[in-house]
Amino acid sequence: MRRIIRQASVCLCLVALLGLTGCSTLKIVYNNSDDLIYWWLDGYADLQDGQKQFTRDTLTDLQHWHRHQQLPDYVALLKRMQAMAPHDITPAQVCAVTEDMKTSFITLLRFVEPANTQLASQLKPDQLRSIRKRFDKTNKDWRADWLDPDAQERLRYRIKQATSRLEDFYGRIDKPQREALQQWLSESVFDPALNFAERERRQADSIQTFQRLAQESNTPAQAQLLMRGLVDRSFTSPNEQFRTYNRALWQENCDGFARLHNSTTAAQRQRLVTALRGYENDFKILMAQK
pTM for this predicted structure: 0.88
Residue 26 has a pLDDT of: 76
CA gap 162, 22 in Å, rounded: 17
Residue type, 278: G
Asked if pLDDT for residue 276 goes beyond 90, the answer is yes
Asked if pLDDT for residue 22 goes beyond 70, the answer is no
- pLDDT (mean) for 18-27: 52
Backbone φ and ψ for 85, nearest 5 degrees, come out as -55, -40
Total domains, the chain: 1
- pLDDT (mean) for 193-205: 97
pLDDT band at 5; cut points 50, 70, 90: very low
Name which of 84, 77, 79 is nearest 101 in CA terms. Answer: 77
pLDDT band at 286; cut points 50, 70, 90: very high
Between helix 175-186 and helix 151-170 the angle, nearest 10°, is: 140
Supply the range of the domain harboring residue 46: 2-288
**Tally: H helices and E strands in the chain:** 13, 0
- pLDDT (mean) for 41-54: 92
Residues 225, 227, 229, 231: what is their CA dihedral angle, to the nearest 10 degrees?
A: -140
Question: How many other β-carbons are positioned within 10 Å of the β-carbon of residue 184?
Answer: 20
> b or e along 117-145 (b: 16 or more beta carbons within 10 Å of the residue's beta carbon)?
bbbbbbbeeebbebbeebbeeeeeebeee
Residue 290 has a pLDDT of: 67
- pLDDT (mean) for 97-117: 91
CA gap 20, 15 in Å, rounded: 10
- pLDDT (mean) for 32-36: 86
Question: How many other β-carbons are positioned within 10 Å of the β-carbon of residue 151?
Answer: 9
Asked if pLDDT for residue 163 goes beyond 70, the answer is yes
Query: pLDDT tens, 53-86?
Result: 999 999 999 999 999 999 999 999 999 999 999 9
Q: How many residues does the chain have?
A: 290
Query: pLDDT tens, 145-157?
Result: 999 999 999 999 9
